[in-house]
Amino acid sequence: MSDSPIKLRRSALYVPASNEKALAKARDLSCDAVIFDLEDSAAPEEKATARERLRKLLSSDMRPSREIIIRINPLSSEWGTEDLLAARAMRPDGILLPKVEGPDDILAADEALDEADAPPSLKLWAMMETSRSIVNAAPIAELGRNPAARLACLVAGVNDLVKETRIAPLRENLRPWLMQIVLAGRAAGIDVLAGVTNNFRDMEVFARDCSDARSMGFDGKTLIHPAQIYPANAIFAPSSEELAEARRIVEAFSKPENQEKNVVALNGRMMERLHLEQARALIRRAQAVEELEDRDD
């Protein structure tokens, strides 16, 4: 079991950098990560203004204490390179690259950041929102196995996938592609986040989307409204029932008569060492949630 700190990414809220009111509220958000958006939420004539507003926020005492991610415009666009360099100077935790289609898109951003003397701690996130990104999910994610490549997270972009492929926006249609993102991320050991739920007023629909995404293996979900933060944090955290079961598994293997066994019986089920590893990981995640909540109180 790894002793490395757990990075919680249950909720990642998009905050439009072009919206002064939204920026002013960013410091008080309880999401695990804030994604300041310079791309979709900013019209072409607003790009430069949005970039400057974000720079002012992140250089002030209103800078959020959460994980800070900046979504830039594609490097192939007229704003991309300037966005990347400006974002690097704002000292975020990560930069979210839109419209990633293959490993070369990650490597190009890597090279640009290296030339700008960006610290190794500055990570890259990749939007998986085109048909090519799904086809190339494995080689894209594989870069995450190389620490020098900076890739730390894959983010599903459902709306763009639906637009490009012209499928009906039904979960059963999207599920095979979403599972491909999860599988690629797990193989590379990096996080995977589910796409947004457009209906931010219907919390029942949102809760179902969160539960479905968690059941598929996603670490968390991207959000478009602050009202979605609390349910996302709750659903992507271990439940009290899961935590109790995990502790029972750890306790069973810790008994003197079971410490050398690979399989033990617990409540009519056979538990293997892999279940012990899963239980310990879940307990560590629950502890990370508790520590974060204590810090926020």
- Three-state DSSP class for residue 128: strand
pLDDT, residue 154, reads: 98
Q: Give 37-60 pLDDT, tens digit per residue.
A: 999 899 999 999 999 999 999 999
Task: Give DSSP secondary structure letters for 192-231.
Answer: EEE---S--S-HHHHHHHHHHHHHHT-SEEEESSGGGHHH
Q: Where in the chain is the domain with CATH 3.20.20.60?
A: 11-235
Q: Give 89-146 pLDDT, tens digit per residue.
A: 999 999 999 999 999 999 999 999 999 999 999 999 999 999 999 999 999 999 999 8
247: tokens are 């502790």
Looking at every residue in the chain, the average pLDDT score rounds to 93
Write b or e for each residue in 113-144: b if 16 or more Cβ atoms lie within 10 A of its Cβ, otherwise e: beeeebeeebbbbbbbbbebbbebbeebbbbb
Q: Give 206-225 pLDDT, tens digit per residue.
A: 999 999 999 999 999 999 99
Average pLDDT (196-204) is 91
pLDDT(85) > 90:
yes
Please report which confidence band the pLDDT of residue 1 belongs to, taking 50, 70 and 90 as the band edges: very low
Q: What is the pTM of this model?
A: 0.92
Average pLDDT (59-80) is 94
3-state SS of 235-247 is: HCCCCHHHHHHHH
pLDDT(74) > 70:
yes
Q: Give 256-282 pLDDT, tens digit per residue.
A: 888 888 888 888 888 888 899 999 999
Q: Which residue has the tokens 């508790």?
A: 290
Element (H, E) at 112: helix 103-115
Please report which confidence band the pLDDT of residue 3 belongs to, taking 50, 70 and 90 as the band edges: low
pLDDT(295) > 90:
no
pLDDT, residue 262, reads: 87
Write the class of the CATH domain 11-235: alpha beta
